[in-house]
Structure 1
Amino acid sequence: MDANTIYAVVDIETTGTNVAEGNRIIQFGCVLVQNGAIINHFNTDVNPQTSIPQSIQALTGITEAQVKRAPLFDDVAGSIYSLLSDTVFVAHNVNFDFPFVNAELERVGYPTLNIQAIDTVTLSQILLPTVPSYRLHDLTQYLNITHNHPHSANDDALVTGQLLIVLFQRMLKLPIITLQQMVAEDADLPQNTADVFKWGLAEVRKHPGSLPDFMYVSNGLALRKTPVLTSTDDRDYTYPRTKKNKLKRFPKHFEWRADQAKMMNLIYRQYTDQDTADQPLIVEAPTGTGKTLGYALPMAYLAQKYDKQVVIATDTVLLQNQLMTQTMPLLERMLPFETHAEVVKGNGHYLDLSRFKVSLSQADHSKQTQLIKLRLLVWLTQTTTGDLDELHFKNEPPYLDGVYHHGLDDLSETDPFYEDDFLRRLYKRLAYSRFIIVNHAFLIQHAALLGDNFNRPYLVVDEAQHLADYALKTQRQKFDFQVSLATARRLMDQLNPENEYGLTVATQGMAINDQLNTVYRWLIEFHRQLRALSDYLISRFKDQFGGKFSTAYKEIVISEDDWTAFLEQRSGLFEQLDILVGKFQTQLSDITATFYKQSNRWLKSDEELFMRFSHALTALTDAWQTLIAIRRAPQHEQAGGGSYLYWLTISSDLSHIMVASNLMTVAGFLSQRVYDHFQAPTFTGATLFSSNRSQYLYDQLDLDRSSVKMRRLKSDFDFKTQAKLYMTNDAPDIRDDEAYNQYVSETLIKTLTRINRPTLVLFNSLSAIEAAYESLTEAIHPRERLILAQGISGSKDKLIKRFMDEDNAVLLGAASFWEGIDLPQEKLQLLIIARLPFDSPDQLETRVQYARMKAEGKNPFYNLSLPKATLRLRQGIGRLIRTRQDYGAVIVLDSRLVTRHYGQTILKTLPASLPTMAGQVPQLLSDITKFFKKHKSNGHDG
């Protein structure tokens, strides 16, 4: 490759994926790119002399009639061979297109093309590292490239050519040092794709320029500068109480929402009135209220007025990012003063620059790891946060375990990237930030840090119905004796003086060697004592596990008294192990400092050995901290910090034991461990109450009902005309799983073949989804309706993307699909609920919670199961109507909503104006058909 190379950008449409099985090209498109411009193009339909599968016709729009009079591949092979000779072949997934074209050429008597080939998927992943999706159509949308006819070879080749030009432009703007590191990585990329960066480096070296002002180089890495924040404006500003004053501040064409304005004023009055400022506030703001701006605007004025900060805690990392990218920019436009927001996540979300730099010197044969390293090198020239979520990894790759941040406590001033460290810079910026956006898990784990460092800031808990769940999850701890013993043995092997490939041999004769030998002796003692502790634990509770095991492992709940007694009996052994772990932590810090001071003395293999040792010892000490947390749980309980459950898991051969603890109730926990560090909190969400009289939410939020101000805003959606709820009354007994699952599958087939609307079906388990998916895909042809299923058809993001790309797809989901997904306008018109969302009573934690409530004289069903299921059902139904323009129908297949008394209790929590109908499936389907005929839509119902 050189500056004058001609790139032949090719796309083909085929009858299938395998030439050997008789699949053929039905369309060929090619554009030629040279010197950053498209210089020519060629495209043709091809008669495959075989049938085109219906699925291919539906995907591409290419019919058998269209290609019937097209030339055979034999007729155009010469033109194609001549066109591609002496070029570099380019395709979006080159490992499909290039071999396929060569196979077709060879089939008709031409030699295979012996030319270079490169892949734009891989180049896009590297040079556009923060793009959420690398499908061609998604990339063109991201880059604003017009793509009118996806899956047309001519149009796909054209936009791929335009994409290639953009990618080359991006590459040639990279710093020389970044390109040098990318080339040095010698990554195994598809075909000759890696050679692109060699050419890019050579081009940049011909015309070297200075780094742009927004970049700098530190310790061999090109980084982007982080904006410096200054102190905030301390002038007084008047809050816009009236509609007139609000409209002055609102952007032009901003939709006025009366309840949003009420929410704003309610929150502002709450904290400016001395009588209510110390009183928690709960605001249920239905979908469509605009609740995020509803609390953000008054909080901005309050923070400015009283010189405080606002911590916003929301449910997930995704919602954190939405607040930062959607709500905060809008808020800044509406305020007469400057404000600044920062998203703060757990340590593991951020890149550790030192660990990453060391990893670059380590040879890795994993293609995935090589690709990630290249992506990270480019991303470092773009990111100011170091937040790895910007890279949209679908499944967290193992490589990230070695490069994510371990926290500020792990950061030494001797670290070569101390001044550049992303986490350190983030926490410095927080002092100048009005809004600190965290998720629930972070809030619970770091409430003291946030509250104490920022002088008891305001706290808004969004999606508050989830806070208790996160409190329970974050306090769930498990210590596996066998894993820690294995880690200790691995470390002992690395430090064994007789291991010629070990770390102590590599450091022989140096000062660091004595420190490593000391750690080696301590590890031997740690392993001996931990093994003894494991044996004592097994012996102490052996009788409670009973006789013969029916499974490989068995779980038993142990009482707090038994656990506390064991801790006291073995307190001396625990103390000795605590001392050893403390020594490990101190010595590792000293050894690391010594190692980096002498970094010029080490070989790459030595660095790799040291990193393995450091990671393993850190993992061992981190695991021990978990056991410390389990041991401290009784102390928290006695201090009013919640009620804990303790259990043991043991293998059938009694050789492998795990101990765990879990917070069972938030009573006393949230109030003391979280709320005490802030001003009186505001809690909000679209679906908070299971009924006006229910105590459930107050219990879940650890609040005294008598001291809380509560307000439920009304939805202004017109449910009477926008939606209708249908309930079957002919379902079999829910306890007969086989009969009920068959009923669900049969009803879904009847419904989906008659009602041709984009449909979401909600289940309570993945096993139920699998059973329904199998029945549906047998009964409904893919060309009629696309059936997507959680756990089968891809990740959640991929499922939602594919669902929205289709006009009448069916999406089967469980768990997280009941809430938190936003399918606007006509993208969802029919919602089917397969079963009322009650928790399984067989789960260990559920059984214990039920037992605890019974002991307190409470009915577990009415105090826990029913309100929890009611809220979840409200959340599920909330997926359907998200705007004033939406419309749709809900079908509940579970007849308990009609036949059980508590069904009426559930129905009373739904909007009063929502029309309902109960009946047998044929009656319901007939009425649903009439309902959709009243609404303009693209659907074609049977």
Structure 2
Amino acid sequence: MTHRFVVVDIETTGNAPDKGDRIIQISAVLIENQTIVDQFTSFVNPEIPIPIFIEELTGIHSGMVKDAPLFAEIAPHLFKMLENAIFVAHNVKFDYYFLQKELKNAGFDHFQPAKMDTVELAWFVLPTAESYKLVDLTEAFQFTHERPHQADSDALATAQLFLMFWRQLEELPSVTLEKLLKLSHHLQSDLYLLLHHILQEKKTKVEQISADLEIYRGIALKRKGMTRKTAAVIETSEYPNTNEAKEQLFKEKLPQFELREGQFEMMDAVFSSFEDKKHALIEAGTGIGKSLGYLLPSIFYAMKQKTPVIVSTHTILLQDQLLQKEIQTLHALVPFSFRTVLLKGRSHYLHLFKFEQTLYEADEQYDHVVAKMKILVWLTQTTTGDIDELHLSSGGKLFWERIKHEGWHVSKQKDPWLAYDFYMHARQEAQAADLVITNHAMLLQDLVEKNTFFPNYDYAIIDEAHHLEQAARTHFASKIAYSNSKYLLSQIGIMEKQQLFGKLQYLLDKKGISTTTEARTIDEAITALELEMDDLFMIMAQIMMRHSKQKHHKCQFRVDSLFRKSKEWQPLVDCAERNIAFLKRVYTGIAERLKVVKVKELKDHEKALIAECFSFLDRIEQLSEQIYSLIISPQLTDVVWVEGDARALPNSMVIQALPVTVKEKLEKSFFAKKKSIVMTSSTLTVQHSFRYMREAIGLQSFSILTKRIASPFEYDKMVKLLIPSEVPEIRDASQDAYVESLANHLIGIAQATKGRMLVLFTSHEMLRKTYYLIKESELLHDFMLIAQGISNGSRARLTKNFQLFEKAILFGTNSFWEGIDIPGDDLSCLVMVRLPFTPPDEPMTEAKHDYLRKQGENPFTANALPEAIIRFKQGFGRLIRSSKDRGIVIVFDRRIETTSYGKAFLYSLPKLTIERGSLEEMVDSIEKWLSLSRD
């Protein structure tokens, strides 16, 4: 391999050179012998205008390239620099294709060097990275990157990353590198050259494996420490009961820590709940520091009583925050050592035996190859084997389905990896833990399955407790999606496809084992099953399209007990019965073959195949049961509905069932069996009352502790709430008229706030219409408009992009009403377009309201209104995240002041200034209010 590499970055007028886009800046960094030796940079005159968006993104405007050389003028120097070198870039296809096109136009039409992609390299060198964008990687590793999206800065940053990745690969054991090299031949860039070179270099030296690694069966793994349950040596486990004692503890251990009276109040409430064996609901306002507010009393109680305390959260984000920040603070604070473990469901963990066997398969599928390479590197880093540490593509996640832990279908004792098993390790760690951090779904699963995954416990903290009802409903749900069902069936395959059944039959034929059912019969059943599954979802889609009330692409139809008795439903029942019959035939055929296989006589890769077949049978059985319970005989207490996207039928079709209420299940299975469950959130009350939450989660029959702890923030000095007077009433205007008025107001407000605005919608359709109306007006042409469902990326990615730009507006729906954190000047204006009522014809809401009517209650006051208020409070909480924040909240929905129930929304907020006025008056008020914060 040559020792010359040229790292290239270009800025262009767009991404389509075939349609006339041109280079406006290029930079090339020369690397020789792992050292940066030269860099060439030049602006390029594209001879066409630079679009506004590119100017905003790169900071390069037409004046900067006006007198720059044409590409043809610098082409000879570039070609000479690139000659006999390996071409390296971040997302190499883009830079390579663009440069190849420009060089060809300049007369250099033989540019075809080997190329390496630092994005592809980062995918497996950094298997746990949250993002592989250049700006995020350089920020993570604190590389100098002063001008992101300018070629000189990007090229130098890419070169530094490339050298760092090279050094990290050199640190990997040879056994890992050998497997990476074998897989790398299926990558899209020529990274096998680099891996081959590193391996050859390693062979010239005596290899020394890092002390924290061990090699087993040709795979390198990070050593796991094992916690043993021992008697704790504690200097003092007495909880600091008084504020003075707490203050002294904090000042001694964490002198810089900000003391908060509300936090101390919460600590006492949690500790007294545990001591008094009472359940509790504690609403802790933003800024209280509720995580430490419940962790400190929990660990004191756990150590004093020698009993574990479970801490359950709804989001992975909060779990990570607890482990990486709050638990570390707790260790520094308390005068004793304690053990914490993060616990998740079995399928979160890697099954090492299954994974090992996939390495011997001739699998050239790109996503699978990248996933295998990621996992090989990750195994040298992880002690948990938890998928949530990994950053997998959608195709990589499908591969994970094959290698995730599902127990031992063959024999635990015969698994050669048992001593290294991540799932077993997690269980053993949990049994020795004082604090166990988990999620709501896992906690609920433990109640139902009665497994021994958790240590025996009687005390728990439920954080983000406003999600407990929905988490319980989801846990008891049943669901079949067309895409998942078809993927499951595609795994069986037929003999010609050499899929799962083909491999199993081949194994039997090789060993001379015969079975009663012929292979051809199973093939025919598999083929028929695939056709019947298509019919099942197509009939479902036809029913949905005939009855859906939705006017946009997403369609839903609730299947009530009356409709299930109709002639229209019967063809679906008939088709479901045929599917179940074919599933049973396939199940029986495979099960019959598994029975006659003598596992003791099998090789390891054959055992892995048998384990995979048993896992598959479990899924087949589950699918059959779900088809029966959803279509043929659903629970009377469940709401059943079908939904899909009208543009992609039947691929998008889903049928699901959820319990209308979960309060009885939670009351009997959870609260009645535990001594003290403390539930906390910043949004548990409606008009300062816990009644709605108590009723929803089944606490109405218990004597519980309730406490509201107000936020320490002075909202009246930090927030102003504005209600526009010129926006039409939602009930009196068409959606188009409302959107037009909304767009006009948002344009004026954005100019006053200079962006930094989050706009929350309750409808994707209204979001899209508003976004495009503003964009097409070009009145905010110098603003970055970022919209959920339109702009590419996850919620986290869209939020991060919003924070990158000086003048930006972020449009979001459902998931943006909570869980995002944009502190400081990055967010100065929060807009709520409508009060967040769930549509009354949404199947779950419709069923809940029917249930409440039968109970003699008013569905609006008992459910719709309190549910919307809690969501409204969550949305409001996006603006003020710290004591230094300041901003504007605008509520466009005039029902907040024109209806009797509107006052309930305002009453649920902290005291703050409320103004009403025209757009002109609002703009003036915004400018004055924000100018005070800037001063």
What secondary structure is seen at the aligned counterpart in 2 of 1:934? helix
What secondary structure is seen at the aligned counterpart in 2 of 1:557? coil
Q: 1:249 to 1:350 in 2, by over 3 A?
A: farther
Q: 1:410 to 1:312 in 2, by over 3 A?
A: farther
1:665 alignment partner in structure 2:
661
Shift of 1:386: 1.1
1:92 alignment partner in structure 2:
90
Q: Which moved more, 1:173-182 or 1:42-51?
A: 42-51
Q: 1:494 to 1:617 in 2, by over 3 A?
A: farther
1:156 alignment partner in structure 2:
154
Shift of 1:25: 2.9
1:594 alignment partner in structure 2:
599
Identity of aligned residues (%): 29
Query: Residue deviations 1:631-687, cap 9 Å, x none?
Result: 99999x9xxxxx54457999xxxxxx9985421112211122223443310010011
1:507 alignment partner in structure 2:
508
Q: 1:893 to 1:141 in 2, by over 3 A?
A: same
Contact 1:316 1:439 in 2 (8 A): yes
Shift of 1:516: 8.5
Query: Residue deviations 1:714-762, cap 9 Å, x none?
Result: 1111111111111124433424333323332232223223431300000
Query: Could you tell me which amino acid in structure 1 is paired with residue 718 of structure 2?
Result: Q
1:33 alignment partner in structure 2:
31
Alpha-carbon distance in structure 2 between the residues aligned to 1:819 and 1:553? 25
Correspondence list, 1:93-242, <5 A: 93-236=91-234, 237-241=237-241, 242=245
Contact 1:45 1:70 in 2 (8 A): yes
2:728 alignment partner in structure 1:
732
Contact 2:478 2:656 in 1 (8 A): yes
Q: Normalised by the size of structure 2, how large is the TM-score?
A: 0.87
Are residues 1:255 and 2:258 paired? yes
Q: Which moved more, 1:98-107 or 1:925-934?
A: 98-107
Of 654, 677, 682, the match for 1:686: 682
1:322 alignment partner in structure 2:
321
Query: Residue deviations 1:773-809, cap 9 Å, x none?
Result: 1112112467511001111112212101101111221
Contact 2:493 2:526 in 1 (8 A): no
What secondary structure is seen at the aligned counterpart in 2 of 1:342? strand
Query: Could you tell me which amino acid in structure 2 is paired with residue 745 of structure 1?
Result: A
Query: Could you tell me which amino acid in structure 2 is paired with residue 761 of structure 1?
Result: V
Q: Which moved more, 1:99-108 or 1:620-629?
A: 620-629
Query: Could you tell me which amino acid in structure 2 is paired with residue 285 of structure 1?
Result: A
Q: 1:761 to 1:450 in 2, by over 3 A?
A: farther
Q: 1:532 to 1:122 in 2, by over 3 A?
A: closer
Query: Residue deviations 1:830-866, cap 9 Å, x none?
Result: 0011110001111222112111111111111011010
Correspondence list, 1:528-607, <5 A: 555-558=558-561, 594=599, 597-599=602-604
Query: Could you tell me which amino acid in structure 2 is paired with residue 183 of structure 1?
Result: L
1:338 alignment partner in structure 2:
337
1:461 alignment partner in structure 2:
462
Query: Could you tell me which amino acid in structure 1 is paired with residue 366 of structure 2?
Result: K
Query: Residue deviations 1:569-613, cap 9 Å, x none?
Result: xxx99999999999899878767871883347x6xxx987x6875
Shift of 1:526: 12
Q: 1:671 to 1:13 in 2, by over 3 A?
A: same
Q: 1:60 to 1:198 in 2, by over 3 A?
A: same
What secondary structure is seen at the aligned counterpart in 2 of 1:760? strand
CA RMSD across the alignment:
4.2
Contact 1:411 1:418 in 2 (8 A): no
2:927 alignment partner in structure 1:
929
Alpha-carbon distance in structure 2 between the residues aligned to 1:457 and 1:100? 63
Contact 1:465 1:700 in 2 (8 A): no
1:640 alignment partner in structure 2:
none
Query: Could you tell me which amino acid in structure 2 is paired with residue 366 of structure 1?
Result: Q
Alpha-carbon distance in structure 2 between the residues aligned to 1:335 and 1:66? 59
Query: Structure 1 regions of 5+ residues with no counterpart?
Result: 567-571, 638-642, 651-656, 938-942
Are residues 1:280 and 2:279 paired? yes
Of 11, 14, 27, the match for 1:13: 11
Query: Could you tell me which amino acid in structure 1 is paired with residue 822 of structure 2?
Result: L
Contact 1:182 1:374 in 2 (8 A): yes
Alpha-carbon distance in structure 2 between the residues aligned to 1:19 and 1:530? 43
Of 248, 264, 267, the match for 2:267: 264
Correspondence list, 1:697-736, <5 A: 697-704=693-700, 707-735=703-731, 736=734
What secondary structure is seen at the aligned counterpart in 2 of 1:12? strand
What secondary structure is seen at the aligned counterpart in 2 of 1:508? helix
2:350 alignment partner in structure 1:
351
Contact 1:27 1:43 in 2 (8 A): yes
What secondary structure is seen at the aligned counterpart in 2 of 1:820? coil
Alpha-carbon distance in structure 2 between the residues aligned to 1:59 and 1:142? 21
1:834 alignment partner in structure 2:
833
Shift of 1:260: 0.7
What secondary structure is seen at the aligned counterpart in 2 of 1:138? helix
Contact 1:558 1:646 in 2 (8 A): no
Query: Could you tell me which amino acid in structure 1 is paired with residue 476 of structure 2?
Result: Q
Shift of 1:931: 1.3
Matched positions, count: 903
1:477 alignment partner in structure 2:
478
Alpha-carbon distance in structure 1 between the residues aligned to 2:388 and 2:770? 33
Shift of 1:269: 2.7
Alpha-carbon distance in structure 2 between the residues aligned to 1:367 and 1:868? 45
Correspondence list, 1:700-849, <5 A: 700-704=696-700, 707-735=703-731, 736-780=734-778, 784-794=782-792, 795-849=794-848
Q: Normalised by the size of structure 1, how large is the TM-score?
A: 0.86
Contact 2:147 2:153 in 1 (8 A): yes
Query: Residue deviations 1:481-521, cap 9 Å, x none?
Result: 99989978995955999x9966435422637x346859999
Query: Could you tell me which amino acid in structure 1 is paired with residue 30 of structure 2?
Result: L
Q: Which moved more, 1:590-599 or 1:898-907?
A: 590-599
What secondary structure is seen at the aligned counterpart in 2 of 1:872? helix
Contact 1:443 1:674 in 2 (8 A): no
Shift of 1:381: 1.3
Are residues 1:870 and 2:866 paired? no
Alpha-carbon distance in structure 2 between the residues aligned to 1:760 and 1:615? 45
2:648 alignment partner in structure 1:
none
Query: Residue deviations 1:65-98, cap 9 Å, x none?
Result: 3333333333322222222222222111221222
Of 652, 655, 671, the match for 1:675: 671
What secondary structure is seen at the aligned counterpart in 2 of 1:77? helix
Query: Residue deviations 1:251-304, cap 9 Å, x none?
Result: 2311111111111122223323xxx22x11111111111101110011011100
1:311 alignment partner in structure 2:
310
What secondary structure is seen at the aligned counterpart in 1 of 2:721? strand
Alpha-carbon distance in structure 2 between the residues aligned to 1:748 and 1:469? 33
Q: 1:72 to 1:526 in 2, by over 3 A?
A: closer
2:647 alignment partner in structure 1:
none
Shift of 1:198: 1.8
Alpha-carbon distance in structure 2 between the residues aligned to 1:295 and 1:475? 28
Alpha-carbon distance in structure 2 between the residues aligned to 1:665 and 1:284? 23
Q: 1:73 to 1:589 in 2, by over 3 A?
A: same
Query: Could you tell me which amino acid in structure 1 is paired with residue 463 of structure 2?
Result: D
Contact 1:493 1:502 in 2 (8 A): no
Query: Could you tell me which amino acid in structure 2 is paired with residue 925 of structure 1?
Result: V
Q: Which moved more, 1:421-430 or 1:915-924?
A: 915-924
Q: 1:115 to 1:267 in 2, by over 3 A?
A: same
